[in-house]
Structure 1
């Protein structure tokens, strides 16, 4: 019965769905690894695949929801969204299956209904409630031999942390429609050697097996989550130790890519008017900080003269009431040629402006030299570095979300309110807002 699903492993998902061969074309056979004798095949035909419920001794139980993301569809008329898979930090942001032109309510489409029901289970208040909760197994389609279909990469098991309604662009008319987006925490599989045993899912499909017995086959992190709830997710989340130094080529778009074209467009747009670039940098910094689930308030842009090395000001809010605090965010924006390197000295000048309780953000169209990154980490500078590739990724996402993919329209919108935001106020005044 089945086998092991290993994180990062690519599986062949053949149209014939034959579970017999262990391998197909040099890749493990998805239908072999997920085979449950005498039961229906496990499928990834849709983006959200809820396996049929069984009547267990403890009540109805959905064995699993299999999630498939198809990056090659992202940005199309029918699939305008881009799912985010940050496997190193155990975070997935996955969009639901409501699309432009659908008449059904967003929460009633088959996939959204399954995920919203799972989300309710994942908010269970007791271990008994959480023991019956539906696990998510996540995959993303990958291209092999020049073909975008037929292969999937296993990305891990997850718990839904948040479900949010949002408005998106889509369809041939670029109209707006309402959909759901889900923030999913990937659990740590270290104790299982980064694998999920299909035996666990097979047991969940057995109507004669109780939730308690099924739980014995679950990964350790899942059992811990069932026992302690969502408050334990920070320590149960998947984390991959990796070097924090990012090589210069990895900070730059690939030649002839859409990112390279848009970064060049951005540079030329602000060439000769680089002070205007600060409004864009401020908006991108806000998006990055909010994207981590933080509360962030955009403040103002500083005047051209006498800004002392600071280009924009914001505020990062942590916690609430007596259990909360706020940090001043001091931003530096540098629109330079995409092949330019930011030096350690340039970063140090921004850090020198920071006071206790302040953090810095440096946004550039260029890249950061290895010595600059090394010095930042060795001296533990409290500063975020946003390079040209990250910058253009954020702007492309903003353009897709709010301007139908038109980057120039997005830039012009960000600049439209710039004049009223320019001031000579002291940065610490943001704490009074």
Structure 2
């Protein structure tokens, strides 16, 4: 994967592997620094420090290579020298300075077939945010020593399918290729970092939550699709009588939860005022007997214009009402903003989100099962024949039934 024809091979023998500098147009530059962490060695005499790899939040805290037995100053240890030099580049004031910044490729030891030695996994592309000196305990020698620790931001590689092309590093090793020219082969987020600087790290940092977030256009039904043709009349049906939409939202929530093979009991709707922030209440039963438990389900129903978005603030208000052992189902004819979804995923909120496209799809399925595909007949059945009781009871009472 790291083979460069006619060039010395990339090394990963030590913790900090700074590739030899290259004299290229614009000055000398180091093509890359390969960082390896053997987490299984943490706390040993050989490796007294504890590196932290928080992959989900794009953060690595990595300790330098100065040790209690070192005879040079902390900043003059080979690895620290390379990383401190890289840090200067990462903090460059202009895009030209940052174009020459050394990329960090991070790896960590991986267990394979029960063996912890000999295998590594690629953890990402990084840039140093902070470097600081600290005093460390040296382990069995019962002494202390000074070292550097680095806070490294992992850069988002979503556009590259979480991979980094070695062609970019090859270009940086080519004496005839300038830093700006090699930048064309760099990952998109790295190019953005070079262009805008550290102020852009907040949006360029790797976040696993992003993989679980659906962009707003993807939540909208395609024009002329069945969902698009259904969603418009659904909204118009309840325009001016939004409270009745709560019964439909409750029925859809029941269809979604039961469709996943769960045992769900649809209970009651709340009055128009004094509902405590919930529009409907249900109970999700998991297991049975001693091997079972029940969860309170609070439901939210928002019949809004089809181009409206549920915001992060609205999600936060819902979460504030949840107690331990409660979950929420949020139905809307609109869609959910990216910040709302991101906050929900990162903070692990127990919420089921049903957007307008999914709502139309579920109702169409219900209509096909029991009403010959007649969507309006399905809605009328929910509002009349299947009418759910309206009561002002406390949600926790459902657990007593």
Residue among 140, 143, 168 paired with 1:200: 168
Distance 1:60 1:85 in 2: 31
Q: 8 Å contact 1:78–1:170 — kept in the other structure?
A: no
Q: Is 1:160 aligned with 2:140? A: no
Residue among 41, 48, 64 paired with 2:9: 41
Shift of 1:111: 0.3
Secondary structure of 1:89's aligned partner: coil
Residue among 180, 185, 191 paired with 2:159: 191
Distance 1:104 1:220 in 2: 39
Q: Is 1:107 aligned with 2:96? A: no
Secondary structure of 1:209's aligned partner: coil
Q: Which has the larger radius of gyration?
A: 2
Q: Is 1:371 aligned with 2:319? A: no
Q: What are the Cα deviations for residues 205-243 of structure 1, in whole angstroms up to 9, with x where unaligned?
A: 001101111000000100001010000110111111289
Q: What are the Cα deviations for residues 363-415 of structure 1, in whole angstroms up to 9, with x where unaligned?
A: xxxxxx9725869x99x99xx99xxxxxxxxxxxxxxxxxxxxxxxxxxxxxx
Distance 1:166 1:175 in 2: 14
User: Is the alpha carbon distance of 1:191 and 1:370 closer, same or farther for their aligned partners in structure 2, counting shifts above 3 Å?
Assistant: farther
TM-score w.r.t. structure 2 length? 0.54
Q: 8 Å contact 2:43–2:139 — kept in the other structure?
A: no
**Which segments of structure 1 move beyond 4 Å, counting only runs of 4 or more?**
372-375
Instruction: Tell me what 1:80 maps to.
Output: 48
Q: Is 1:219 aligned with 2:187? A: yes
Shift of 1:103: 1.9
Q: Is 1:232 aligned with 2:200? A: yes
Q: 8 Å contact 1:142–1:153 — kept in the other structure?
A: yes
Instruction: Tell me what 1:169 maps to.
Output: 137
Distance 2:197 2:189 in 1: 11
Unaligned runs of 5+ in 1: 1-32, 245-342, 345-368, 386-433
User: Is the alpha carbon distance of 1:75 and 1:373 closer, same or farther for their aligned partners in structure 2, counting shifts above 3 Å?
Assistant: farther
Shift of 1:145: 2.1
Distance 2:326 2:211 in 1: 15
Instruction: Tell me what 1:142 maps to.
Output: 110
Secondary structure of 2:88's aligned partner: helix
Q: 8 Å contact 1:95–1:181 — kept in the other structure?
A: yes
Distance 1:113 1:54 in 2: 17
* Residue pairs, 1:321-340, within 5 angstroms: none
Unaligned runs of 5+ in 2: 213-294, 297-322, 330-339, 349-401
Distance 2:78 2:21 in 1: 14
Q: Is 1:67 aligned with 2:35? A: yes
Secondary structure of 2:132's aligned partner: strand
TM-score w.r.t. structure 1 length? 0.50
Size of the aligned set, in residue pairs, is 234
Distance 1:52 1:154 in 2: 21
CA RMSD of aligned residues (A): 3.2
Secondary structure of 2:85's aligned partner: helix
Shift of 1:74: 0.4
Shift of 1:59: 0.5
Distance 2:327 2:83 in 1: 40
Distance 1:68 1:98 in 2: 15
